[in-house]
Amino acid sequence: MQTVANVVSNQVSDEIFKALADPTRRAIFERLARDGAQTVRALTDQAGVSQPAVSKHLRVLKQAQLVIDRPEGRETHYSAQPLALSALRDWVSFYGAFWNDRIDDLESLLKRMDQ
């Protein structure tokens, strides 16, 4: 039997956590989400890391379905896919509510014990 927690957890890909765990990848994703589609060259100019490093970070973000690429001539434009974060948002919301409920239950128990 699958619980709500299992369903919510299964929707969140480990690749999303892995991709967003790295501060450089988060910065690249945020830049794409904020500024729109960009090439590797444009991202490299702003990232402070080498072009091969930016390409590797983009590959990880693409595997997590956080970015898509669109070849255009000799360059590839990358765009953020913020909707891919919806499963992560749902996961955080579920566990936020879970722990709030547990804390409320503990608070109620402590009040009953004091009476």
Per-residue pLDDT of 14-39, as tens digits, reads 889 999 999 999 999 999 999 999 99
Distance (Å, whole) CA 17 – CA 29? 13
- pTM for this model (two decimals): 0.71
What is the residue extent of each domain of the chain? 4-82
Question: 63 exposed, middle or buried (CB, 10 Å; 0-12, 13-18, 19+)?
Answer: middle
| CATH fold for domain 4-82 | Arc Repressor Mutant, subunit A (1.10.10)
Per-residue pLDDT of 70-81, as tens digits, reads 999 999 999 999
Per-residue pLDDT of 65-105, as tens digits, reads 999 999 999 999 999 998 888 888 888 888 876 666 667 66
Q: Which two three-digit tokens encode residue 35?
A: 């500024």
